[in-house]
Amino acid sequence: MTSVSPAMQEYLAEAYRLAYYQDGNRYISTSALAEALNVSAPAVTRMVQRLKDAGYLEHEPYRGICLTPAGEREALLSIRRHRLVERFLVDVMRFGWHEVHDDADALGAYVSDVVVERMAQLAGNPRRCPHGEPIPTADGVMPRVNDFPLNQAQPGSDLVISRVNTHDADKLQYLDSLGLRPGTAFRLVERAPFHGPLELWVEDDVRVIGHELAGVLRVCTPEEFERV
């Protein structure tokens, strides 16, 4: 099996993340991968062929690409490193959650597994990254999270923010100013019709958030949040 370069790790991890949100569909399109990585279609085509030749993914015409078991394992180990480095940067080094994604990409590609596991210990062996995404186990198992976008929740529901599905620094800072981070409990008071704003009751106060931004917040029941 060909050794995995940092670029290959990035493609494999992103392919896994895209498939993870598709509820059972293992195949993703090369165009979706290109958009997620902000690279050109020819660049994706070249890397897909490289990964296919190395045995890390399969490519079927009209269906797209999917990871092989070897590719999935490499993807999960890469995701684990990335998310643990993020937690270390936030919890130990006190960076803001809006600052760490790119640096975690850079560090996670090169630090050894021994260093990453020490980072995990110093960060308290977390189960989720700062954005709420589950951290795969050291033996390559991804915990399954059952949640859904906030803008699909029903008024009157008592929920917890599970994940924040964006790395946009401005959005993360704004959500932080509203106190809306993974683990925050709230009640959805009202959801205006026609994609209007949502009214939340958070820590004895009312917070209002737009429909589009609410879509990047994934929520679940308090019991489901504690399960992961």
Overall domain count for the chain = 2
**66/85 Cα distance (integer angstroms):** 26
**132/138 Cα distance (integer angstroms):** 18
The residues with which 26 forms a beta bridge, in sequence order, are none
At 208 the pLDDT is: 97
**13/29 Cα distance (integer angstroms):** 15
Same domain, 128 and 168: no
At 1 the pLDDT is: 55
**102/89 Cα distance (integer angstroms):** 11
Tens digits of pLDDT across the chain (228 residues): 567 898 999 999 999 999 988 877 899 999 999 999 999 999 999 999 999 999 999 998 889 999 999 999 999 999 999 999 999 999 999 999 999 999 998 898 888 889 999 999 999 999 999 999 999 999 989 998 999 999 999 999 999 999 999 999 999 999 999 999 999 999 999 999 999 999 999 999 999 999 999 999 999 999 999 998
Burial of 139 (C-beta count, 10 Å sphere; 0-12/13-18/19+): exposed
**91/221 Cα distance (integer angstroms):** 25
* pTM, to two decimals: 0.90
CA-closest candidate to residue 65, choices 73, 74, 56 = 56
Tokens describing residue 14: 């992103």
Same domain, 56 and 136: yes
Same domain, 55 and 160: no
At 226 the pLDDT is: 93
At 22 the pLDDT is: 82
Choosing from 111, 143, 175, the residue where a domain stops is 143
At 3 the pLDDT is: 76
Same domain, 1 and 74: yes
Encode 6-49 in three state secondary structure: HHHHHHHHHHHHHHHCCCCCCCECHHHHHHHHCCCHHHHHHHHH
Same domain, 168 and 138: no
Same domain, 156 and 173: yes
The residues with which 128 forms a beta bridge, in sequence order, are 134
Range of the structural domain that residue 62 is part of: 1-143
At 49 the pLDDT is: 95
Choosing from 91, 115, 143, the residue where a domain stops is 143
